[in-house]
Amino acid sequence: MGIKEIKSSLTGDKYYKVKHKSGLNIYVYEKEDYSGSYAVFGTKYGSINTRFSANDGEIVTVPDGIAHYLEHKLFESEDGDAFAKYAKTGANANAFTSFDKTCYLFSTTDNFKESLEILLDFVQTPYFTDETVAKEQGIIGQEIKMYDDSPDWRVMFNLLECLYHNHPVKIDIAGTVESIAKITPEKLYQCYNTFYNLNNMALCVCGKARLDEVLEVADRLLKPSDDVKITNYFEDEPYEIVKNFAEQNLPVALPMFNIGFKSDGKERTTAAEQASLDVLLAMIFSSVSPLHRKLLDKELINQNFDYEVFEGPGYSSIILGGESRKPEEVYSCIKEYIKELKDKGLSKKDYEICKKAIYGDTMSSLNSISSIGNNLIDSHFTDREFFSYVDAVYNLQFEQVESAFDKFVDYNNSALSVIK
């Protein structure tokens, strides 16, 4: 078992990376003066991983929504529910399934070791029967219907259906009522045995917990596992969008919109590209930008306006969201402004302001144990070193932002989704 100390030359912060004898990668970021601890145990397995092979075997296709279903089922075991166990330690526990990962987490000020024992135990102890799987179909079916009626959810997935022809990122994370009806205990065990292999997982701990505490629990509870070579299969995704507009009627106080700019997602962004995009989006869309002021002055948007880089294996887009009585006009103004910037160039003054703001935000995020834990696991699953993003923002050059603008923002390859 090798322990590696990784230190930031900029901040002096450090964390430990351990390749445990079980195959699991463990990260511990000690914060001596903190009263709480945060732990996240995740697998590189999300809703998009529905076609795969293990150890170069046959290609398997499983129902949409099975990763989310599996997340729900793991909390149940023969000896009770994991949430009931956490209630006894006082830990605040949760879990989530995204497009490309599934994570189980808790935060606590007391009884850290007992809570970590619960986490490592239930995630490694699957228990699926015909009866429990059938029972869950009704529960998740209700959840899917709830999402179908959620304006926030629908405006996003309607946009993804505009942007993506074949990539499973356009399919609801929870699947459909029809797809989850095809889930069986055998399929759940097949997915679990493939993706919940410890070599495909990571444990990240941050806060007052100590490395020796974490390793003591890990040595007792982690079950050694043979590495499984996993290959995921996705259909080829064209660069061009499917269509540029989608609209749906749902009960909302104000019309909602999402705007997406699709780019080539064949390669994951580097830390430098990530930093470039974050500064670029702040320059174009943040509250200090001329575009944002113009949209506010014309009463086309309100304070509920946000933006993000949306990327994962095989997909990459920039997504904006907000509320407006005239979403089509917002879309038109944004495209015109981007075209203007493409013609006349970006402002170096705006770049300097936004680079400082992003660097400040990055530094302040190092005071949040949940932010550190979540970013550590993201870094692991994207093969990036955690502090590389801090370095990339600090060392960022204006020319890198210009390059990201050319590469990732194509106003012609964009779409608008509206909920009226």
Kindly list the catalytic residues.
Answer: 71
The sign of the CA dihedral 191, 193, 199, 205 is positive
Do 407 and 276 form a contact (C-beta atoms < 8 A)? no
| CA–CA distance, 413 with 417 (Å, rounded to integer) | 14
Name the β-bridge partners of 92. Answer: 107
